[in-house]
């Protein structure tokens, strides 16, 4: 498990304390873990926006893809773009 040192403002520390109390957590680090876990799920599991899906489908239809013989060639192009 990774350890992180965090500096919080008074307001954020108060929020962490409230989360700790509301969920009867044993420590503030558990409260911070809960907050990060909840926000992480919210961010990571969002559905794709319809406009983005439409754009991807358009790219699929028009064939604006480029094939690479290897990952190295792709990385070379990205690095030199």
In a domain, 75, yes or no: yes
Cα–Cα distance list, 73 to 49, 65, 68 (Å) = 31, 15, 6
The residue among 57, 77, 52 whose CA lies nearest residue 66 is 77
- According to DSSP, residue 47 is labeled P
Cα 70 from Cα 61, distance rounded (Å): 24
Kindly state whether residues 18 and 34 are assigned to the same domain.
yes
Angle, helices 28-44/10-22, rounded to nearest 10 degrees: 90
At residue 16 the predicted structure's pLDDT band, cuts being 50, 70 and 90, is: very high
List the domain range (segments joined by +) for residue 28: 10-44
Mean pLDDT of 39-59: 80
Band of the pLDDT at 80, cuts 50, 70, 90? confident
Instruction: Give the residue, 26 or 38, on which the prediction is more confident.
Output: 26
Same domain, yes or no, for 39 and 60? no
């Amino acid at each position: 498990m990774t350890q992180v040192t965090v500096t919080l403002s008074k307001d954020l520390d108060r929020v962490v304390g409230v989360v700790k109390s509301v969920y009867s957590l044993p420590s503030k680090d558990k409260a911070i873990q809960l907050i990060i876990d909840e926000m992480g799920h919210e961010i990571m599991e969002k559905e794709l926006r319809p406009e983005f899906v439409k754009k991807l489908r358009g790219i699929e239809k028009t064939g604006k893809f480029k094939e690479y013989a290897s990952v190295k060639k792709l990385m070379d192009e990205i690095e030199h773009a």
